Amino acid sequence: MTGLDLHKVFRPEKKGLKPPHYKLMTEAQLEEATRKAIEEAKTKLIMPPVLNEREPIDDVLAEDKILEGTETAKYVFTDLSYSIPHRERFIVVREPNGVLRKATWEERDRMIQIFFPKEGRRVIPPTLFKDEKLGTVFQQDRHEDVLNMCIAQFEPDSPDYIRVHHRTYEDIEKHGKYDLLRSTRHFGGMVWYLLSRKKADGLLIDMINRDLLDDATSLITLYHMLHPECQSAKEAKEQKLEGVDLIKVFVKTESQREGYIQLALQAYEEAMATSSAS
């Protein structure tokens, strides 16, 4: 459903200027190059994981009252061995009152970024991830950039990552800008978010308007897999519907914007009729 638009995936990046390369290829070489490009695009379109929020760490390892009053600042001890994964790295904090506790998730992320810096990630996250600033970025239609920066900056199970993603999806759904994420790796996440909250109508209308009937049917099948107890799922299973009938059943039972979807379906069928007639 994500769609594989090569022109959008391999859109030119703004880097240093180089004169354009022209290559002379035979048909076979061109096919080979296209095939390689499609494979590379598929690696770029791998969907990032959708996880629940991580539980906060608040374990106390030791309480040494004898150290109370000796220091005025917290000490953070990080295990810097090179070959352990970051999630198995022990990071502990000794507070001035003598308590030795495990570092919280935010402290962990900061320390790991200081000692093992990752490309595209900053120690203090950029201000544009705050709720007030996200609005300005959405007005410039830069949802994909925001999501890419979010993946670079935060861990997939951190509350900030989840909050930014939910805000982005809600803004897209409010303005109907589904096409911005099509052919990117964020499309799957958006579909999952909308379907789990039963807000599939806008997306369905958009797909029918763009004549993507197969995508629409896969959307409805996914909806039925997510919510097997709903009425349209039961009907579809009994009657084993396919294609446009599936959509019609869904529209009759589950959707909130029946009128719009009916109109869109009608327009699509008329367009199909005229194109097949001519």
Partner 1 sequence: CHCSDHIFDVITSPQVLPRFCSTQETPKDPPAAPSPYQERPWEYLESEEYRATYGDRPVWHGYRRNHKGSVPPQSPRKACLRRGRRVGNPCPICRDRNLLVDFRNVKLLDQFICPHSGVIFHPIHTGICMKQHKRLSQAIAQAQDHGLLWLQVPFVPVPEEDFSNQHAAVGKTPPAPALREPGQAWYPWYEWQQPPAAEVARMRRLYRGFLKEDYPDTPPSPSGK
Residues that bind partner 1 (CB under 8 A): 13-17, 43-44, 46, 48-49, 51, 54-55, 57, 59-64, 85-91, 102, 105, 108, 118-120, 126-128, 133-134, 136-137, 140, 142, 145-146, 148-149, 151-152, 155-157, 185
Report, in Å, the least distance between residue 108 CB and partner 1: 7
CB 188 within 8 A of CB 160: no
Indicate the residue among 142 and 257 with the shorter CB distance to partner 1: 142
Indicate the residue among 18 and 240 with the shorter CB distance to partner 1: 18
Q: What is the Cα–Cα distance from 106 to 153, expressed in whole angstroms? A: 12
Report, in Å, the least distance between residue 17 CB and partner 1: 6
Report, in Å, the least distance between residue 57 CB and partner 1: 6
Provide the greatest CA pair distance for the chain: 90
Indicate the residue among 136 and 239 with the shorter CB distance to partner 1: 136
Pairing, β 99-102 against β 60-63: antiparallel
Q: What is the Cα–Cα distance from 124 to 14, expressed in whole angstroms? A: 25
Report, in Å, the least distance between residue 140 CB and partner 1: 8
Indicate the residue among 51 and 267 with the shorter CB distance to partner 1: 51
Report, in Å, the least distance between residue 258 CB and partner 1: 38
Indicate the residue among 118 and 174 with the shorter CB distance to partner 1: 118
Give CA separation, 12 vs 4, 49, 78, 92, 143, in Å.
16, 26, 41, 44, 18
Contacts of residue 268, defined as CB under 8 A and 6 or more positions apart, other chains included, come to 208, 209, 211, 213
| Helix, strand counts (H, E) of the chain | 12, 4
Torsion-angle region of 128 (φ positive above 0: left; ψ -120 to 50: alpha; else: beta): alpha
Report, in Å, the least distance between residue 268 CB and partner 1: 35
Indicate the residue among 144 and 245 with the shorter CB distance to partner 1: 144
Q: What is the Cα–Cα distance from 187 to 209, expressed in whole angstroms? A: 18
